[in-house]
């Protein structure tokens, strides 16, 4: 008799456990929304602040409904810092992959276009699980104080539409759909680790290059000094030739025995000034010319200290910005 009672209790326990599991799996949970900063289509810096202003307004209105979870803005900004903003509007694969990495299944993105004193704001929501755009809204008006009314109207419109279009889902169904999308897009922890490793290696490469910079700085300074001195020397020589030519021509035209002392002193002064300029110019030219081989020496020293991979990186952010106008440096 006792055995029968134990068996009945055991089966009742199994039924209770099964019912509890099914209830847990059928539990309705909120969808998680990722809201990207809005894209400034015209790249008008004066209105860059709207990127986050619109995002903040949308989240504030959606939070009132208490129907959704939200991806953290700081985590979003960290994840998208190396992604072009336009890709967060136009590149569906980038949008979906980013959302899956942040555990979101709904994306809210958009852009705004400003032409003179007019603005148009376009918002769009994407169902990550279905990989398609679901709803959108557009507002337009003036760029004055009316902008904030436009943002408020857009936020209310999108909030009502999103609340109706993205109801809660059963936990088991949502987990299955998310897992399916993650597999399709190869979203794995290993991928994240590899990406982080590559980024760290790039940072280390740049640090290593910066450690080897002194020879490059010496090369650049010597080259700049050489160009400055040779240019200044040529200018001084040109200036000096003029008074010299005037002074000697006056000597040839006038007899020194009959010319007044004032005329002779002026002629001598002109020749003296010209000679001084020529001398200074000559010295500057000589020093400037000497600086070129010195610069070449430091350049070769710097180049020899770099590996082949560093040589590919270095000219991009050094030569282009610093000495792209200097033919001598480019030819070396």
CA-closest candidate to residue 92, choices 58, 126, 122: 126
In this prediction, residue 232 carries a pLDDT of 84
Q: In the predicted model, what is the mean pLDDT of residues 286-311?
A: 75
Decide: pTM greater than 0.85.
Answer: no
Collect all residues with Cβ–Cβ distance below 8 Å to 294 and sequence separation of at least 6: 222, 226
Phi, psi of 145 (to 5 degrees): -65, -20
| Residues 50, 36 contacting (CB under 8 angstroms) | no
Domains of the chain: 27-190 (3.40.50.10610), 207-331 (no CATH)
| Residues 29, 167 contacting (CB under 8 angstroms) | no
pLDDT band at 54 (very low <50, low <70, confident <90, very high): very high
Condensed to tens digits (0 to 9), the pLDDT of residues 63-92 reads 998 889 999 999 999 889 888 888 999 988
Query: If you write DSSP's letter for every residue of 137-171 in order, what string do you get?
Result: EEEEEESSTHHHHHHHHHHHHHHHHHHHHS--EEH
Q: Is the pLDDT of residue 21 over 50?
A: no
- The sign of the CA dihedral 139, 77, 177, 22 is negative
User: What is the DSSP-derived secondary structure letter of residue 204?
Assistant: H
In this prediction, residue 125 carries a pLDDT of 93
In this prediction, residue 320 carries a pLDDT of 38
In this prediction, residue 321 carries a pLDDT of 39
Task: Give the range with max mean pLDDT: 46-55, 166-175, 248-257.
Answer: 46-55
User: What is the DSSP-derived secondary structure letter of residue 265?
Assistant: H
CA-closest candidate to residue 212, choices 314, 305, 307, 295: 305
Condensed to tens digits (0 to 9), the pLDDT of residues 213-242 reads 677 777 788 888 888 888 888 888 788 777
Least-confidence region, from 23-27, 142-146, 286-290, 322-326: 322-326
pLDDT band at 209 (very low <50, low <70, confident <90, very high): low
In this prediction, residue 188 carries a pLDDT of 53
| Residues 175, 27 contacting (CB under 8 angstroms) | no
- The sign of the CA dihedral 158, 163, 164, 169 is positive
Q: How far apart are CA 8 and CA 31, in angstroms?
A: 41
pLDDT band at 140 (very low <50, low <70, confident <90, very high): very high
């Amino acid at each position: 008799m006792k055995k029968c009672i134990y068996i009945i209790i055991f089966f009742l326990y199994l039924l209770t456990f099964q019912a509890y599991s099914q209830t847990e799996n059928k539990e309705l949970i909120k969808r998680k929304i990722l809201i990207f900063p809005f894209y400034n289509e015209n790249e008008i810096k004066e209105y860059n602040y709207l990127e986050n202003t619109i995002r903040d307004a949308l989240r504030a209105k959606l939070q009132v409904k208490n129907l959704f979870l939200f991806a953290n803005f700081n985590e979003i900004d960290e994840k998208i810092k190396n992604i072009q903003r336009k890709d967060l509007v136009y590149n569906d694969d980038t949008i979906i992959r980013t959302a899956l990495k942040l555990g979101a299944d709904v994306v809210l993105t958009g852009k705004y276009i400003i032409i003179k004193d007019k603005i148009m704001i376009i918002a769009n929501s994407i169902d990550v699980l279905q990989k398609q755009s679901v709803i959108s809204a557009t507002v337009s008006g003036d760029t004055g104080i009316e902008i904030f009314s436009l943002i408020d109207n857009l936020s209310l419109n999108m909030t009502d539409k999103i609340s109706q279009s993205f109801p809660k889902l059963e936990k088991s169904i949502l987990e299955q759909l998310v897992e399916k999308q993650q597999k399709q897009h190869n979203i794995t922890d290993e991928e994240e680790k590899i990406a982080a490793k590559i980024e760290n290696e790039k940072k280390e490469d740049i640090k290593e290059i910066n450690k080897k910079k002194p020879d490059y700085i010496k090369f650049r300074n010597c080259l700049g000094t050489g160009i400055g001195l040779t240019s200044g020397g040529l200018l001084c020589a040109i200036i000096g030739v003029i008074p010299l030519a005037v002074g000697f021509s006056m000597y040839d035209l006038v007899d020194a025995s009959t010319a007044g002392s004032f005329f002779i002193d002026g002629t001598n002064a002109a020749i003296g000034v010209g000679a001084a300029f020529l001398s200074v110019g000559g010295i500057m030219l000589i020093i400037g010319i000497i600086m070129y081989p010195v610069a070449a020496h430091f350049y070769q020293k710097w180049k020899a200290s770099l590996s082949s991979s560093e040589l590919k990186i270095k000219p991009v952010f050094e030569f282009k910005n610093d000495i792209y106008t200097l033919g001598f440096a480019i030819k070396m």
